[in-house]
Amino acid sequence: MDYKKLYEDDKMSIPKIVELLNSQGITKSVGYVYNRLIESDVTLRTSSEAACIVHNSLDYSRSFLTESSVSHLDGFLLGDGYVCPNHSSKVGRATCSLQHKEFCGYMMSGFSDYKPSDPYFNKNQSGKGSGCWYSYTKFHPDLYSQYCRWYIDGFKRVPKDVRINRDSILLWYLGDGSVVTESVPNTLSLRFSTDGFLKEDVEFLSERMRGLGIDCRRNNDNRIYVEARGIPSLFEVMGTKSPVKCYSYKFDQIPSWRFSSKRMKDVAEELDISYDRLSYLVKIGQAPCYRATPKGRPRFLPEHIEVLSDLKSKGHLY
């Protein structure tokens, strides 16, 4: 009988191991199992660690990780989430503290297999601010493995296999994304607050996002700056509607035309036509475009690009 495996890997208590032996017709005492564990150099759990396992209703021998849950966790950790580890028992739990109850519930909804607590409000005793909404999952080895994937010596680092996709980007944007309105009218950009990461990690994240066609870069504040031309690609990836009302303004602040419009240079390259020729036809009113203001820069919506493609086929654009 591998007592060490039963105790460490299967998280069974000594009485539970004795109960298992008895069910198999093997009569052994608690003291006998205890001595075998000591002989195997097993570090026995403290009473608090044992209580954590007793009260945890999750099956430690079963993994709940899926590609979907890992994507959610990566978005969670890119933003406002944290994994709290118990190194002795090699288990962890996901936890967050947020301003809005609705977003707290949404953040934890991707961890349903780990039985997250209902969000509860914790009043700030220091008098600075009113407090935050908290939630946390049960402890489980899955989450400890993700802690080890994301943290080096307790410091959060972006893993090379981080999932950068619709689910992770959406969760990340909801938590750490912001709309930046420039001083020039109808000019805006988006930022991801990545200043808590190392520069090389932010560069890596920017590269991964550019791989999805999102034009972005790391700025001097160590944040990811999404260029105006990258906005349509970003929202094409993560969608144009907020799943939570508390952060709907991060979507509603952006005029609908920005979700699908393109700049003249990009359209000229896409259609393989002369930029100067296109600019001339726009100037004399023979090529359609959209302008946010009478003197605003021309932008091209899908219906405009369809017309330009037709003009090219007729020899008017080349």
Q: Give pLDDT tens digits for 10-21.
A: 778 887 888 888
Integer Cα distance of 43 and 34 in angstroms: 11
- Position 169 scores a pLDDT of 96
Structural domains of the chain, with CATH? 3-44 (no CATH), 67-159 (3.10.28.10), 167-258 (3.10.28.10), 261-313 (1.10.1660.10)
- Position 186 scores a pLDDT of 61
- For residues 204 and 196, is the Cβ–Cβ distance under 8 A? no
**What is the number of alpha carbons within 13 Å of residue 126 lying toward its C-beta?**
4
Question: In the structure encoding, which two tokens stand for residue 78, read together?
Answer: 């890119």
- Position 69 scores a pLDDT of 93
Integer Cα distance of 260 and 255 in angstroms: 10
Residue 47 has pLDDT above 70, yes or no: no
Q: How far is CA 48 from the centre of its chain?
A: 32
- Please state, rounded to an integer, the average pLDDT across all residues of the chain: 89
Integer Cα distance of 252 and 44 in angstroms: 55
* Digit-coded pLDDT (tens) for 94-145: 999 999 999 999 999 999 999 999 999 987 655 556 789 999 999 999 999 9
State whether the Cα torsion 6-12-17-19 is positive or negative. negative
- Position 10 scores a pLDDT of 74
At 33, is the pLDDT very low, low, confident or very high (cuts 50, 70, 90)? confident
- Position 73 scores a pLDDT of 97
* Digit-coded pLDDT (tens) for 291-309: 888 888 899 999 999 999 9
10 Å Cβ neighbour count for 196? Answer: 11
